[in-house]
């Protein structure tokens, strides 16, 4: 009996020691229950964000109308959402929902830029999905600026309703991005009969709204059946007004 008790005690000690070792090093088990090795933690899945599963469901709605082929004075639209997409897959889902409208595509651009600010790998893939060839050119102005780092964490919060420099760029919820036609330049057409839409995205961090150009086709995508808009935003890398000295930026969902 004493031997059996001793044997059981030794087994118990061995079990405790094993658990202690596993909690201090070796493999780890994240919240999703899947086992990861130390090598796995060094790898970044470019199509996913490990936090996605911990976030509330992404909700997006779109309102208003902007004609996709013919300029109509006074037209405008808006996109509202409860948080930014956290992965390439989520971004694609949102694009399927709103990317066939001009104001939806413009809002997607702000989403992708904020995603890039948070994670360059994920954000770059999203920009490549919606951007024209020149917009995402490796040595283009946008890429050079982004690679240098977005210096202000509230850079893209400025495009959300309610966010101002004097309130810490704290937007109202749900987040809303507003887009309107450019009454001055209206719509244009290239030598290849490609229609370009000139629009404005309301920017609360600047004295003027941001210019954005959209098209369903560029030199890389001449498919007449393409329904999604591609974007080029020359104002994407212009810094917004500095936050007021007595305010703190609380971040975005």
In a domain, 35, yes or no: no
Residues in the chain: 253
Q: Which letter does DSSP use for residue 10 in this model?
A: H
Residue 247 lies in a domain: no
Asked if 84 contacts 42 with a C-beta cutoff of 8 angstroms, the reply is no
Q: Which of 6-10, 83-87, 178-182 has the lowest mean pLDDT?
A: 6-10
Q: How confident is the model at residue 97 (pLDDT cuts 50, 70, 90)?
A: very high
Q: Which domain holds residue 157?
A: 60-68+76-234
Domain count of the fold of the chain: 1
Q: What pLDDT sits at residue 133?
A: 86
Q: Cα separation of 183 and 72, whole Å?
A: 9
**What band does 139 get if pLDDT is binned at 50, 70 and 90?**
confident
Report if residue 207 sits inside a domain: yes
Q: pLDDT tens digits for 188-222?
A: 987 677 889 999 999 999 999 999 999 987 656 55
Determine, yes or no, domain membership for 13: no
Burial of 236 (0-12, 13-18, 19+ CB in 10 A): buried
Q: How confident is the model over 104-119, as pLDDT tens digits? A: 999 999 999 999 999 9
pTM assigned to the model: 0.78
């Amino acid at each position: 009996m004493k031997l059996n008790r001793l044997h059981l005690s030794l087994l118990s000690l061995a079990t405790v020691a094993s658990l202690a070792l596993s909690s201090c090093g070796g493999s780890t088990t994240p919240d999703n229950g899947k086992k990861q090795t130390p090598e796995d933690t060094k790898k970044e899945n470019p199509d996913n964000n490990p936090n996605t599963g911990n976030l509330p469901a992404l909700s997006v709605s779109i309102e208003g109308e902007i004609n996709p082929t013919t300029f109509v004075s006074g037209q405008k639209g808006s996109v509202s959402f409860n948080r930014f997409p956290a992965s390439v897959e989520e971004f694609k889902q949102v694009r399927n929902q709103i990317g066939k409208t001009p104001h939806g595509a413009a809002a997607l651009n702000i989403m992708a830029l904020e995603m890039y600010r948070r994670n360059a790998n994920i954000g770059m893939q999203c920009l490549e999905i919606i951007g024209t060839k020149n917009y995402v050119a490796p040595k283009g102005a946008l890429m050079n600026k982004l690679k240098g780092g977005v210096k202000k964490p509230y850079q893209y919060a400025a495009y959300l309703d309610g966010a101002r420099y004097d309130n810490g760029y704290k937007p109202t919820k749900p987040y809303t991005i507003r887009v309107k036609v450019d009454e001055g330049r209206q719509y244009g057409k290239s030598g290849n009969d490609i229609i370009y839409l000139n629009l404005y995205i309301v920017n609360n961090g600047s004295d003027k709204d941001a210019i954005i150009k959209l098209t369903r086709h560029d030199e890389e995508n001449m498919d007449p059946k393409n329904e999604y808009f591609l974007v080029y935003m020359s104002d994407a890398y212009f810094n917004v007004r500095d936050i007021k000295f007595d305010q703190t930026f609380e971040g975005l969902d």
